[in-house]
Structure 1
Amino acid sequence: MRLDTDLLVIGGGVAGAYAALTACREGANVVLACKTSLRGGATRWAQGGIAAPLDPGDEANHALDTQRAGRGLCEPQAVDVFVREARAAVEALVDLGVAFDPQGALEGGHRRPRIRHTGDATGDAISRALSRALHAWEGRGLHIKTRAFARNLRLAGGRVVGADFLTPEGPLRVRARGGVLLATGGFGQLYPVTTAPPEGTGDGLALAYRAGAALRDLEFVQFHPTAVVAGKRAYLVTEAARGEGAQLLNARGERFMARYDSALELAPRDVVARAIAAEIAATGRVDLDLRPLGAEWAARRFPTVAATLRPLGLELGRDLIPVQPAVHYTVGGVQTDVQGRSTLPGLYAAGEVASSGLHGANRLASNSLSEGLVFGARAARTALAESVLAFAEGDPSPAPGADWAGVPALRERLGAAAGVQRHGTELRAALEGWGLAPAVQPDPAALEAANLALLGELLLRAALERSESRGSHSRSDCPAQWQTPLHTVQWWDGREARQAQVPVGTHMLESTP
Structure 2
Amino acid sequence: MIRLEELHGQTAIVGSGIAGLMAALELAPQPVVLITREGLGQECSSAWAQGGIAAALGADDSPAQHLADTLRAGDSLCDETIASGILSEAHEAIAVLERYGVRFDRTVDGVFSFGREAAHSRRRILHFGGDRTGSEITSALKRAARQCPSITCLTGVEARRLITTNGRVTGIHLQKKNHAQVLGTAQVIMATGGCGGLFETSTNPSGNFGQGIMMAARAGAALRDMEFMQFHPSALDTSQTPLPLISEAVRGEGAILIDQTGRRFMAHVPGAELASRDVVARAVHLVISEGGRAFLDAREALGSGFAQRFSGIHALCAAIGIDPAHEAIPIRPAAHYHMGGIAVDKDGQSTLPGLWAIGECAATGLHGANRLASNSLLEAVVMGRRAARDVVGRKMRTLPTAPKAELLLESDPGSVRPVVSEYLGVVRDEMGLNCSISKLLPLIEANGRGSDPALVALAIAVFANLRCESRGGHFRSDFPGPASRSQSNLMTLAEILAHAGSVCQDPILRTA
Q: Is TM > 0.5 for Structure 1 vs Structure 2?
A: yes
Report the alpha carbon displacement of residue 430 of structure 1 after superposing the two structures with TM.
2.2
The one-letter amino acid paired with 2:125 is I
Identity of aligned residues (%): 38
- The answer to whether the aligner puts 1:45 opposite 2:48 as a matched pair is yes
Counterpart Cα distance in 1 of 2:223 and 2:405: 16
- CA change 1:282–1:168 in 2 (3 A) is closer
Q: Which has the higher strand share?
A: 1
1:15 is matched with which residue: 13, 19, 24? 19
- CA change 1:472–1:438 in 2 (3 A) is closer
The one-letter amino acid paired with 2:77 is L
Contact preservation (8 Å) 1:403, 1:436: no
Name the structure 2 match of 1:195. Answer: 203
1:162 is matched with which residue: 161, 165, 171? 171
Name the structure 2 match of 1:503. Answer: none
Contact preservation (8 Å) 1:9, 1:183: yes
- The answer to whether the aligner puts 1:431 opposite 2:437 as a matched pair is yes
Report the alpha carbon displacement of residue 366 of structure 1 after superposing the two structures with TM.
0.4
Counterpart Cα distance in 1 of 2:150 and 2:103: 28
Counterpart Cα distance in 1 of 2:346 and 2:444: 38
Name the structure 2 match of 1:105. Answer: 115
TM-score w.r.t. the length of structure 2 is: 0.90
Name the structure 2 match of 1:82. Answer: 86
The one-letter amino acid paired with 2:139 is R
SS in 2 for 1:374: helix
Name the structure 2 match of 1:246. Answer: 255
Report the alpha carbon displacement of residue 55 of structure 1 after superposing the two structures with TM.
5.5
Report the alpha carbon displacement of residue 342 of structure 1 after superposing the two structures with TM.
0.2
- The answer to whether the aligner puts 1:181 opposite 2:189 as a matched pair is yes
Counterpart Cα distance in 1 of 2:88 and 2:211: 31
Contact preservation (8 Å) 1:77, 1:338: no
Report the alpha carbon displacement of residue 364 of structure 1 after superposing the two structures with TM.
0.5
- CA change 1:438–1:218 in 2 (3 A) is closer
- CA change 1:315–1:214 in 2 (3 A) is same
Counterpart Cα distance in 2 of 1:468 and 1:136: 50
Contact preservation (8 Å) 2:445, 2:451: no
Counterpart Cα distance in 2 of 1:283 and 1:157: 56
Contact preservation (8 Å) 1:401, 1:439: no
- CA change 1:157–1:46 in 2 (3 A) is same
Counterpart Cα distance in 1 of 2:264 and 2:446: 52
Report the alpha carbon displacement of residue 389 of structure 1 after superposing the two structures with TM.
4.4
Provide Cα deviations, 1:48-79, integer angstroms capped at 9, x if missing partner. Answer: 11111115961000001111110000011210
Report the alpha carbon displacement of residue 295 of structure 1 after superposing the two structures with TM.
4.5
Counterpart Cα distance in 2 of 1:325 and 1:279: 11
Report the alpha carbon displacement of residue 480 of structure 1 after superposing the two structures with TM.
1.9
SS in 2 for 1:436: helix
- The answer to whether the aligner puts 1:126 opposite 2:133 as a matched pair is no
Report the alpha carbon displacement of residue 327 of structure 1 after superposing the two structures with TM.
0.5
- The answer to whether the aligner puts 1:135 opposite 2:152 as a matched pair is no
Contact preservation (8 Å) 1:152, 1:398: no
The one-letter amino acid paired with 1:429 is C
The one-letter amino acid paired with 1:476 is S
TM-score w.r.t. the length of structure 1 is: 0.89
SS in 2 for 1:107: coil
Report the alpha carbon displacement of residue 450 of structure 1 after superposing the two structures with TM.
2.7
Counterpart Cα distance in 2 of 1:497 and 1:157: 22
2:127 is matched with which residue: 110, 117, 132? 117
The one-letter amino acid paired with 1:106 is R
Deviates more, 1:101-110 or 1:3-12: 3-12
Report the alpha carbon displacement of residue 361 of structure 1 after superposing the two structures with TM.
0.3
Deviates more, 1:164-173 or 1:395-404: 395-404
Name the structure 2 match of 1:32. Answer: 34
- The answer to whether the aligner puts 1:490 opposite 2:484 as a matched pair is no
Structure 2, unaligned stretches of length 5 or more?
Answer: 107-112, 501-512
Name the structure 2 match of 1:204. Answer: 212
Contact preservation (8 Å) 2:115, 2:252: yes
SS in 1 for 2:75: coil
Provide Cα deviations, 1:184-216, integer angstroms capped at 9, x if missing partner. Answer: 001111111100013312110000000000011
- CA change 1:424–1:232 in 2 (3 A) is farther
Name the structure 2 match of 1:476. Answer: 477
Counterpart Cα distance in 2 of 1:146 and 1:71: 39
- CA change 1:50–1:6 in 2 (3 A) is same
Contact preservation (8 Å) 1:13, 1:127: yes
Name the structure 1 match of 2:235. Answer: 227
Counterpart Cα distance in 1 of 2:385 and 2:328: 42
Report the alpha carbon displacement of residue 279 of structure 1 after superposing the two structures with TM.
2.5
The one-letter amino acid paired with 1:51 is A
Counterpart Cα distance in 2 of 1:158 and 1:398: 21
Aligned length: 485
Report the alpha carbon displacement of residue 483 of structure 1 after superposing the two structures with TM.
1.9
Contact preservation (8 Å) 2:175, 2:407: no
Name the structure 1 match of 2:457. Answer: 456
Provide Cα deviations, 1:205-233, integer angstroms capped at 9, x if missing partner. Answer: 00000000001111100000101122253
Contact preservation (8 Å) 2:179, 2:407: no
Counterpart Cα distance in 2 of 1:170 and 1:402: 12
1:328 is matched with which residue: 320, 330, 336? 336
Counterpart Cα distance in 1 of 2:469 and 2:405: 35
